[in-house]
Chain A
Amino acid sequence: MARFLLRRLSLMLLTVFAITVISFFIIVLPPGDFVDRLVLEANQYGEVFEQHEIDDLRRSYGLDRSAVEQYLIWMRNILFRGDFGYSFGWDVPVADLIGQRLGLTALLSIVTLLFIWTVAIPIGIYSAVKKYSLGDYVATFVGFIGLAIPNFLLALVLLYFSFRYMGQSVGGLFSPEYVNAPWSFARVLDLISHLWIPTIVLGTAGTAEVIRKIRANLLDELHRPYVLTARAKGLPETRMLLKYPVRHSLNPFVSDLNDLFVKIISGETIVAVVLGLQTTGPLLLQALKEEDLYLASSLIMFLSFLAVLGTLFSDLCLMALDPRIRRQANEGDLM
Chain B
Amino acid sequence: MSARIENASYGVLIWRRFKRHKLGVLGAFITGAIYFVAMFSEFLAPHGQGTYKARDVYAPPQFVRFMVEDQAGDRRFQLHVLGYKSSVDYDSGKRTFVPDPRKIIPLGFWVQGDPYKFWGLVKMDRHLFGPVNSRDRVYFFGADRLGRDVYSRTIHATRVSMTIGLVGVSLSLILGITIGGLSGYFGGFADLGIQRVIEILQSIPSIPLWIGLAAAIPPTAPPLQTYFLITVILSIIGWTGLARVVRGRFMALKDEDFIKSARLDGNKPVRIIGRHMVPNFLSHIIAVVTLAIPGMIIAETSLSFLGIGLRQPVVSWGVLLQEAQNLKSISTAPWLFLPGLAVVIAVLALNFLGDGLRDAGDPYES
If the complex has contacts A30-B213, A169-B327, A288-B308, are A148 and B344 also in contact, measured as CB distance less than 8 A? yes
User: Which residues of chain B have C-beta atoms less than 8 A from A222's C-beta?
Assistant: none
A67 interface residue (CB < 8 Å to B): no
Residue of A nearest to B294 (CB): A148
A interface footprint on B204-218 (CB within 8 Å = 1, 0 otherwise): 111111011101111
User: How far, in angstroms, from A13 to B301 measured CA to CA in the complex?
Assistant: 34
Do the beta carbons of A156 and B200 come within 8 Å of each other? no
> Quick one: which of A147, A258, A288 contacts B215, CB cutoff 8 A?
A288
B334 and A304 form a contact (CB under 8 A): no
Contact (Cβ within 8 A) A156 B337: yes
Residues of A within 8 A of B199 (CB): 11, 15
B98 at the interface (CB under 8 A from A): no
Check if A26 sits within 8 Å of B200, measured CB to CB.
no
Which residue of A267, A288, A304 contacts B204 across the interface (Cβ within 8 Å)?
A: A304
- B173 CB, min distance to chain A CBs, angstroms: 20
Encoded as 1 (CB less than 8 Å from any A CB) or 0, chain B from 176 to 207 comes to: 00000000000000000000100110111111
Contacts A22-B204, A259-B202, A299-B208 known; A14 to B351 CB distance under 8 Å?
A: no
Instruction: Tell me, yes or no, whether B347 is within 8 Å of chain A by CB.
Output: yes
> Closest B-chain residue to A265, C-beta based?
B205
B167 contacts partner chain A, Cβ-Cβ < 8 Å:
no
Cβ-closest chain A residue relative to B203: A308
Q: In whole angstroms, how far apart are the Cα atoms of A153 and B321 in the complex?
A: 9
Q: Is A224 part of the contact surface with B, judged by Cβ < 8 Å?
A: no
Which one, B205, B212, B306, B344, contacts A149 given CB within 8 A?
Answer: B344
Question: Are B212 and A148 touching (Cβ within 8 A)?
Answer: no
Query: At the interface, is chain A mostly helix, strand, loop or mixed?
Result: helix
Interface size class of A (residues with CB under 8 A): 35 or more
A27 within 8 A of partner (CB)? yes
B218 with A32: CB separation less than 8 A = yes
Tell me, yes or no, whether A253 is within 8 Å of chain B by CB: no
Write the nearest CB–CB distance from A52 to chain B, whole angstroms. Answer: 25
Interface residues of B in 66-90 (CB under 8 A from A): none
Quick one: given A27-B212, A164-B331, A285-B211, are A148 and B347 in contact (CB under 8 Å)? yes
Chain A residues near B340 (CB-CB < 8 A): 149-150, 153, 156
Contact for A303 among B196, B205, B324, CB less than 8 A:
B205
Say yes or no for B278: interface residue by CB 8 A criterion: no
Is B343 among interface residues, defined by CB-CB distance under 8 A?
Answer: yes
Q: Does A94 count as interface, using CB distance less than 8 angstroms?
A: no
Question: Inside 8 A of A217's CB, which chain B residues have their CB?
Answer: none
Given contacts A26-B213, A147-B351, A150-B302, contact A300 B200 (CB under 8 A): no
Contacts of A164 in B (CB 8 A): 331
- Given that A31-B218, A150-B298 are known contacts, is A311 also in contact with B203, CB under 8 Å in the complex? yes
Would B331 and A148 count as touching, CB distance under 8 A? no
Taking CB atoms, residues of chain B closer than 8 Å to A159 are: 327, 330
The reply to whether B207 and A307 contact each other, CB–CB distance below 8 Å, is: no
The answer to whether A163 touches B331, judged by C-beta atoms less than 8 angstroms apart, is: yes
Tell me if A30 and B298 are in contact (CB < 8 A).
Answer: no
Q: Does chain B have a CB within 8 A of A294?
A: no
Q: Which residues of B contact A19 (CB under 8 A)?
A: 200, 203-204
Query: B305 contacts the other chain (Cβ, under 8 Å)?
Result: yes
A121 at the interface (CB under 8 A from B): no
Q: Does A249 contact B (CB under 8 A)?
A: no
The closest CB in chain A to the CB of B199 belongs to A15
Q: List A3-31 residues whose CB lies under 8 Å from chain B.
A: 11, 14-15, 18-19, 22-23, 26-27, 30-31
Flag if B208 contacts A148 (CB, 8 Å): no
* Cβ of B259 under 8 Å from chain A: no
In the complex, chain B residues whose CB is within 8 Å of the CB of A262: 202-206
Query: A-facing mask of B316-334, CB < 8 A → 1, else 0?
Result: 0000010011010011001
The answer to whether A270 touches B212 (Cβ under 8 A) is no
Tell me the smallest distance from the CB of B210 to a CB of chain A, in Å. 9
CA distance in complex: A15, B202 (Å): 10
Measured in the bound complex, the distance between the Cα atoms of B340 and A311 in whole Å is 32
- Asked if A152 CB lies within 8 Å of chain B CBs, one says yes
B78 to chain A: closest CB distance in Å?
A: 36
Whether B331 and A269, one on each chain, are in contact in the complex, defined by CB atoms closer than 8 angstroms, is no
What sequence of 0s and 1s flags, for each residue 141-172 of chain A, a beta carbon within 8 Å of any chain B beta carbon?
Answer: 00011011111110011011001100001010
Question: Bound state CA distance, A311 and B213, in angstroms?
Answer: 24
Q: Is B30 among interface residues, defined by CB-CB distance under 8 A?
A: no
Q: Is the CB of B351 within 8 A of A15?
A: no
Query: Would you give 10 A-B contacts (Cβ < 8 Å), ordered by A?
Result: A11-B196, A145-B344, A152-B302, A153-B337, A160-B331, A164-B331, A262-B206, A266-B205, A269-B205, A270-B306
Q: Given contacts A149-B340, A160-B334, A269-B211, could you give 16 more A-B pairs where the C-beta distance is less than 8 Å?
A: A11-B199, A22-B204, A26-B209, A26-B212, A31-B216, A147-B347, A148-B347, A148-B351, A153-B321, A153-B340, A156-B330, A156-B340, A160-B337, A267-B207, A288-B308, A300-B204
List 9 tightest A-B contacts by C-beta distance, closest first: A30-B216, A266-B205, A288-B215, A266-B207, A148-B347, A265-B205, A148-B348, A304-B204, A26-B212
